């Protein structure tokens, strides 16, 4: 795996690309990652995808909870929907913070 020293683009392959697809940097401006760094990037891709999938589902939970709140069937239903809305927003914020941390720690690629 290779990393563009100019823009941070990661390239999978035995050698660096001739030109960075993101910024146009030349092949010489890529650094080869060691096995440990490459492994961390590969593992983080799986976790990052899970986080993103969860965020999509949480947005759906928020929408459904809002519908339930608007229906206002009875106090117990509304309480559940309010809790779901609150918790999904909190989890979404946690996911954003976690992904931001992944980016600053080189766990994104």
Mean pLDDT, to the nearest integer, of 5-18? 94
How far is residue 35's CA from residue 10's CA, in Å, rounded to a whole number?
Answer: 14
Residue found under tokens 């990052």: 48
Beta bridge partners of 32: 2
Query: Considering the entire predicted model, what is its pTM?
Result: 0.75
Would you say residue 109 has pLDDT above 80?
Answer: no
User: For residue 92, what are the contacts with CB-CB under 8 A and spacing of at least 6?
Assistant: 55, 58, 59, 62
Q: Is the pLDDT assigned to residue 105 strictly greater than 90? A: no
Domain edges within the chain: 1-33, 36-109
Res 68: pLDDT: 97
d(CA 41, CA 57): 24
Fold of 1-33: Rubrerythrin, domain 2 (2.20.28)
List, for residues 46-92, the tens digit of each pLDDT value: 999 999 999 999 999 999 999 999 999 999 999 999 999 999 999 99
């Amino acid at each position: 795996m290779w990393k563009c020293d100019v823009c941070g683009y990661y390239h999978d392959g035995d050698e660096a690309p001739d030109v960075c697809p993101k910024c146009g940097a030349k092949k010489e401006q890529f650094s080869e990652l060691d096995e440990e760094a490459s492994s961390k990037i590969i593992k983080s891709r799986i976790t990052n995808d899970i986080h993103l999938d969860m965020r999509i589902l949480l947005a759906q939970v928020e929408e459904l909870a809002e519908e339930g709140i608007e229906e206002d069937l009875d106090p117990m239903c509304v309480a559940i929907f309010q809790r779901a809305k609150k918790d999904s927003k909190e989890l979404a914020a946690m996911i954003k913070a976690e992904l931001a941390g992944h980016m600053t720690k080189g766990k994104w690629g």
